[in-house]
C-alpha cells in the first residue's frame, strides 16, 4: 500500500511543481489500445512494449481538461481507500457522483488508465469489479474475509470472487479446467453432472467476454494446480476472439498481461473441422454476416495466429465455408451429445489444438 500511496503522491507532486512554475499541469498516459504499442511474446501473450507511444492529458486544453480533472478525482478516492484499507467497486465510484462521471464506461476507462500510468495492478488500487463469471466443480477455497466456499457440492454454481488475489487454501483433485464460453452451455453441462462423470474437473464461464476477475481466477487455478486448461467455444469469430482473450490477453489490458493470460490453454471445441467430421447438417449452421467476416479477417492477421498452424487451418476452414455454428448444434445429433459423446471422446483421444 505504501507503494501505491507513493506513486499517487509523485503524480500530485508533479502537478504542484507545474503550478509553482506557472505552467499548466499535464498527465502522460500510454496509448493502451494502439496495436503499435503491443508485442506478442509466446510465453506471456500480448504485452505492452516498454517505450510505447503516449498521449498528454492537458489541464489547459478544453478537450482534455475534463478528463484531467476526473483522473485527479479518482486518484484522490483511491488514495483515501488505500490509507483506510477500504475497498470500493467500480460501480460504487460511478454512483458516488453520477453527474460528474456521466457513465460507467468513463469510470472503467479512467481506472485502467490510472492502473497503467502508475504501473500498479487494478486490485492493488483497492478497486474491485463486480464479477459476472461462474465457477463449479471440484474446487474449494477460502475467501479473503474467511468465508469457505466448496464448489464440489453437486450442481452448485458460485460467482467468481470479486477479490481473486485474496482467496487462499485452494484445494482440488481436478484433472483439468474447462472454460465454457456461454452460460447456457455451462448450465447444461452442470445438469448432466459433467464435472464428476468423466473425471473430476473445474468448470468456469465468463458468460461471454470474460471480466477481469474470471481471467484472474483461470490464471490462479493454472498457477496453483498446473493442470491442463481447455476451452469450449462456439465455432464462430466471436468465440475465437473470447478464447484468444483468455489465452493471449486483450490489447487494452496488455499492461497487465503477466497476471491475466494462460498461454498453455488448448482449443477443445467446437472446431470448424468438427462440423464436417460429425456430418452436421448445413441447415443448422448460420451464414456469416459482414461483421463476422471482418472479425475473422482481423483475427487471422494477429501475431499469435502465425505461431499456431493448426488454429490457422481451422480459421481457413471457417473462412472458406462462411458458416458459423453454436455449440448447441450438437443437440441436432442427440440431446446429451455434448456431455455423453463429444467431450469424453475429445478428452480421451486428445482432440484439442
Could you say which of 79, 94, 95, 342 is catalytic?
Answer: 95
Extended strands (E) in the chain: 26-30, 38-41, 45-48, 54-58, 88-89, 127-128, 134-137, 140-142, 148-150, 158-159, 168-171, 176-180, 201-205, 229-232, 266-269, 286-287, 323-324
Q: What is the domain count for the chain?
A: 2
Domain boundary among 128, 144, 168: 128
pLDDT digits (tens, 9 = 90+) for 14-43: 989 998 988 888 888 887 777 777 878 787
- Residue 320, judged by CB atoms within 10 A of its CB (0-12, 13-18, 19+), counts as exposed
pTM of the complete model: 0.83
Give 150's strand partners: 140
Q: What is the pLDDT of residue 153?
A: 67
pLDDT digits (tens, 9 = 90+) for 298-346: 988 888 888 888 999 999 999 998 988 899 888 888 888 888 889 999 8
Shared domain check, 101 and 61: yes
- Is 95 an annotated catalytic residue? yes
Shared domain check, 172 and 99: no
Considering only residues 251 and 273, tell me which one the structure prediction assigns the higher pLDDT: 273
Domain boundary among 102, 128, 154: 128
Shared domain check, 271 and 170: yes
CATH of the domain at 159: 3.40.1360.10
Shared domain check, 164 and 89: no
Shared domain check, 215 and 155: yes
Query: Greatest CA span in the chain, whole angstroms?
Result: 74
Q: What is the pLDDT of residue 162?
A: 83
Q: What is the pLDDT of residue 28?
A: 84
pLDDT digits (tens, 9 = 90+) for 254-310: 777 777 889 899 999 889 999 888 888 888 888 989 999 999 999 888 888 888 889
Shared domain check, 282 and 149: yes
CATH of the domain at 115: 1.10.10.10
Other residues' Cβ atoms within 10 Å of the Cβ of residue 211: 17
Shared domain check, 119 and 143: no
pLDDT for residue 233 is more than 90: yes
Mean pLDDT of 208-237: 92
Contact indicator for 116, 254 with CB cutoff of 8 Å = no
Shared domain check, 140 and 124: no
pLDDT digits (tens, 9 = 90+) for 128-177: 877 889 999 889 899 888 888 888 866 678 888 888 888 899 999 989 99
Q: Which domain holds residue 106?
A: 2-128
pLDDT digits (tens, 9 = 90+) for 119-130: 888 778 888 877
In this prediction, residue 225 has a pLDDT band, given cuts at 50, 70 and 90, of: very high
Domain boundary among 109, 128, 147: 128
Shared domain check, 267 and 147: yes
pLDDT digits (tens, 9 = 90+) for 171-195: 999 899 999 999 989 988 888 888 8
Contact indicator for 324, 235 with CB cutoff of 8 Å = yes
Mean pLDDT of 235-239: 92
Q: What is the pLDDT of residue 280?
A: 84
Of 238, 89, 236, 214, nearest in space to 160 by CA: 214
Burial string for 162-189 (b: 16+ CB within 10 Å, else e) reads bbbeebeeeebebebbbbbbbbebbbbb
Shared domain check, 232 and 171: yes
Mean residue pLDDT across the chain = 87
Mean pLDDT of 7-11: 90
Shared domain check, 272 and 164: yes
Poorest-pLDDT segment among 49-53, 176-180, 349-353: 49-53
Shared domain check, 278 and 152: yes
Amino acid at each position: 500500500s505504501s507503494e501505491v500511496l507513493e506513486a499517487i503522491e509523485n503524480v500530485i507532486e508533479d502537478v504542484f511543481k507545474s503550478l509553482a512554475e506557472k505552467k499548466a499541469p499535464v498527465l502522460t498516459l500510454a496509448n493502451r489500445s494502439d496495436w503499435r504499442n503491443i508485442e506478442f511474446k509466446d510465453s506471456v501473450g500480448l504485452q505492452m512494449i516498454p517505450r510505447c507511444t503516449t498521449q498528454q492529458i492537458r489541464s489547459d486544453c478544453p478537450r482534455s481538461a475534463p478528463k484531467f480533472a476526473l483522473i485527479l478525482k479518482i486518484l484522490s478516492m483511491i488514495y483515501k481507500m488505500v490509507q483506510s484499507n477500504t475497498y470500493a467497486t467500480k460501480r460504487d465510484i460511478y454512483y458516488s457522483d453520477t453527474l460528474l462521471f456521466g457513465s460507467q464506461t468513463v469510470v472503467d476507462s479512467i481506472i485502467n488508465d490510472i492502473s497503467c500510468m502508475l504501473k500498479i495492478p487494478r486490485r492493488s488500487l483497492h478497486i474491485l469489479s463486480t464479477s459476472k463469471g461462474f465457477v463449479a466443480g471440484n474446487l474449494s477455497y477460502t475467501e479473503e474475509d474467511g468465508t469457505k466456499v466448496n464448489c464440489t457440492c453437486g450442481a452448485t454454481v458460485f460467482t467468481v470472487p470479486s477479490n481473486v488475489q485474496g482467496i487462499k487454501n485452494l484445494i482440488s483433485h481436478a484433472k483439468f479446467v474447462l472454460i465454457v464460453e456461454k452460460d447456457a452451455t455451462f448450465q447444461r453441462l452442470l445438469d448432466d453432472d459433467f464435472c464428476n462423470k468423466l473425471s473430476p474437473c473445474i468448470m468456469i464461464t465468463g458468460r461471454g467476454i470474460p471480466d477481469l476477475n474470471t481471467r484472474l481466477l483461470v490464471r490462479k487455478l493454472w498457477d496453483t494446480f498446473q493442470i491442463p486448461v481447455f476451452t469450449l467455444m462456439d465455432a464462430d469469430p466471436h468465440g475465437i476472439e473470447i478464447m484468444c482473450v483468455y489465452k493471449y490477453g486483450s490489447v487494452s489490458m496488455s499492461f497487465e498481461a503477466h497476471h491475466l493470460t494462460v498461454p498453455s490453454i488448448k482449443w477443445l471445441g467446437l472446431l470448424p473441422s468438427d462440423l464436417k467430421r460429425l456430418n452436421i447438417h448445413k441447415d443448422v449452421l448460420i451464414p456469416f454476416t459482414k461483421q463476422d467476416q471482418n472479425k475473422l479477417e482481423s483475427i487471422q492477421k494477429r501475431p499469435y495466429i502465425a505461431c499456431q498452424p493448426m488454429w490457422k487451418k481451422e480459421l481457413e476452414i471457417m473462412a472458406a465455408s462462411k458458416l458459423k455454428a453454436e455449440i448447441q448444434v450438437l443437440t441436432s445429433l442427440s440431446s446429451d451429445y455434448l456431455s455423453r459423446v463429444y467431450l469424453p471422446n475429445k478428452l480421451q483421444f486428445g482432440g484439442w489444438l
